[in-house]
């Protein structure tokens, strides 16, 4: 009887331990979705008083999966109401330790934060004015990158021929993003030739963030261990590795070609790294009040 009770208790313990042990979810993939460097601004209409010191505590938070560089931040506000001591911050993308803001990854699972305060002096309001609502804009520019690295099927055989390997898909495949505001959103792979097999990869690059792309550059491109020959056909010089984006442009195309050593199909990694210059502008409102008056 005692042995049965002990056995039952052991089974209960094993059950509780098994149920209470969390399953290993594996490493987090930060290179997915749309993430970006964001500006944290005070809520609209913080109360300020004429003739007092002006202090605007802005913050930058790097939620992207890539580091940022070449940051500049400008505060655009009417000088008739505010005399700014610093209208531009040359190095806003540095964390509390003064280091360049790192990417969001397994070593930095929380977004890096940088304080970017602007200071100045508020002028007196015009005669007869009890308050003044004032719009201001924060203008941020920076440089970052994005890496597209799917596993693809390559092969020099015609699509209707099966060779026991993989099959190059027809049409384009869609992607949700790679952890940046600039994303490779579509990929189309085309098998070319039989005697001289080649692969063509057509990638759609899309702006999915809150800002605009100013410039785009091709940095690295590989198929397996082999270098790819890539172009930007929308560039003024299609053979160049960079292009200027028009203000209203949201998408462009990257085309890459690769000669294959074999006609057989197989799976291999494709890797394309792009660098871009990005620009974000956000607007808020603050209220300047007459000294001695309070408003709800």
Please give the torsion angle defined by the CA atoms of residues 239, 240, 245 and 246, in that order, rounded to the nearest 10 degrees.
-60
Together in a domain, 272 and 151 = yes
Average pLDDT, the chain: 84
Together in a domain, 138 and 76 = yes
Span 75-91, pLDDT tens digits? 999 999 999 998 888 67
Span 164-189, pLDDT tens digits? 678 888 899 999 999 999 999 999 99
Together in a domain, 233 and 270 = yes
Handedness of CA 99, 105, 107, 108 (dihedral sign): positive
* Interatomic CA distance for residues 197 and 144, integer angstroms: 35
To the nearest 5 percent, what fractions of the chain are helix, strand and coil? Answer: 5, 50, 45
* Interatomic CA distance for residues 38 and 139, integer angstroms: 12
Residues in the chain: 296
Q: With respect to residue 17, please indicate whether it lies within any of the assigned structural domains.
A: no
Q: What is residue 249's predicted lDDT score, i.e. its pLDDT?
A: 85
Which helix (H) or strand (E) segment holds residue 3: the answer is: helix 2-20
* Interatomic CA distance for residues 287 and 169, integer angstroms: 58
Q: With respect to residue 296, please indicate whether it lies within any of the assigned structural domains.
A: no
Together in a domain, 263 and 140 = no
Together in a domain, 132 and 182 = no
As beta bridge partners, residue 286 has: 134
Together in a domain, 133 and 198 = no
Domain encompassing residue 229: 145-277
Q: With respect to residue 183, please indicate whether it lies within any of the assigned structural domains.
A: yes
Q: With respect to residue 19, please indicate whether it lies within any of the assigned structural domains.
A: no
Q: Residue 157: pLDDT band by 50, 70, 90 thresholds?
A: low
Q: With respect to residue 54, please indicate whether it lies within any of the assigned structural domains.
A: yes
Pull the structure tokens for residue 84: 């700014």
18 pLDDT exceeds 50? no
Closest CA to 190 of 167, 205, 174, 170: 170
Q: Are 254 and 232 in contact (CB under 8 A)?
A: yes
Together in a domain, 150 and 271 = yes
Q: Are 278 and 143 in contact (CB under 8 A)?
A: yes
Together in a domain, 121 and 134 = yes
Q: With respect to residue 206, please indicate whether it lies within any of the assigned structural domains.
A: yes
Q: Residue 257: pLDDT band by 50, 70, 90 thresholds?
A: very high
Strands (E), 66-210: 69-76, 82-84, 88-89, 112-122, 131-148, 151-154, 172-174, 182-192, 198-207
* Interatomic CA distance for residues 37 and 57, integer angstroms: 17
Q: What is residue 230's predicted lDDT score, i.e. its pLDDT?
A: 94
Q: What is residue 283's predicted lDDT score, i.e. its pLDDT?
A: 92
Q: Are 256 and 272 in contact (CB under 8 A)?
A: yes
146 pLDDT exceeds 60? yes
Q: Which residue has the higher pLDDT, 189 or 2?
A: 189
Which letter, b or e, does each residue of 255-271 get, where b requires 16 or more Cβ atoms within 10 Å of its Cβ? Answer: bbebebeebebeebebe
Q: With respect to residue 72, please indicate whether it lies within any of the assigned structural domains.
A: yes
Q: With respect to residue 221, please indicate whether it lies within any of the assigned structural domains.
A: yes
2 pLDDT exceeds 70? no
Pull the structure tokens for residue 99: 């280091």
Q: Could you give the C-alpha distances from 202 to 107, 161, 171, 178, 226, in angstroms and in order?
A: 33, 23, 11, 17, 17
Helix, strand or coil, per DSSP, at residue 9: helix
Please tell me the total count of domains within the chain: 2
Please give the torsion angle defined by the CA atoms of residues 236, 242, 247 and 252, in that order, rounded to the nearest 10 degrees.
80
Q: Which residue has the higher pLDDT, 138 or 86?
A: 138
Together in a domain, 140 and 44 = yes
């Amino acid at each position: 009887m005692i042995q049965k009770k002990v056995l039952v208790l052991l089974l209960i313990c094993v059950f509780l331990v098994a149920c209470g042990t969390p399953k290993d979810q594996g490493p987090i993939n930060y290179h997915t979705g749309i993430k970006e460097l964001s500006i944290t601004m005070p809520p609209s209409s913080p109360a300020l008083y004429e003739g007092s010191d002006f202090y605007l505590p802005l913050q930058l938070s790097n939620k992207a999966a890539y580091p940022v560089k070449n940051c500049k931040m400008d505060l655009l506000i009417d000088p008739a109401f505010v005399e700014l001591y610093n209208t531009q911050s040359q190095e806003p993308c540095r964390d509390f330790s003064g280091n360049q803001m790192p990417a969001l990854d397994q070593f930095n699972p929380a977004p890096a934060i940088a304080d970017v305060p602007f200071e100045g002096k508020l002028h007196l309001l015009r005669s007869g004015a009890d308050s003044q609502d004032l719009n201001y804009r924060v203008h941020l520019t920076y440089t970052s990158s994005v890496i597209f690295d799917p596993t693809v099927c390559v092969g020099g055989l015609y699509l209707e021929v099966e060779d026991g390997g993989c099959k190059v898909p027809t049409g384009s495949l869609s992607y949700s993003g790679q952890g940046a505001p600039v994303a490779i959103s579509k990929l189309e792979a085309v098998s070319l030739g039989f005697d001289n097999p080649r692969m063509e990869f057509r990638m759609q690059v899309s702006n999915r963030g809150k800002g605009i792309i100013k410039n785009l550059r091709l940095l690295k491109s590989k198929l397996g261990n082999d270098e790819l020959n890539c172009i930007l056909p929308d560039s003024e010089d299609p053979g160049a590795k960079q292009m200027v984006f028009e203000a209203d442009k949201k998408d462009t195309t990257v085309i890459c070609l690769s000669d294959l050593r074999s006609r057989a199909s197989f799976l291999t990694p494709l890797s394309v790294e792009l660098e871009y210059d990005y620009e974000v502008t956000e607007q808020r409102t603050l209220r300047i009040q007459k000294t001695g008056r309070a408003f709800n």
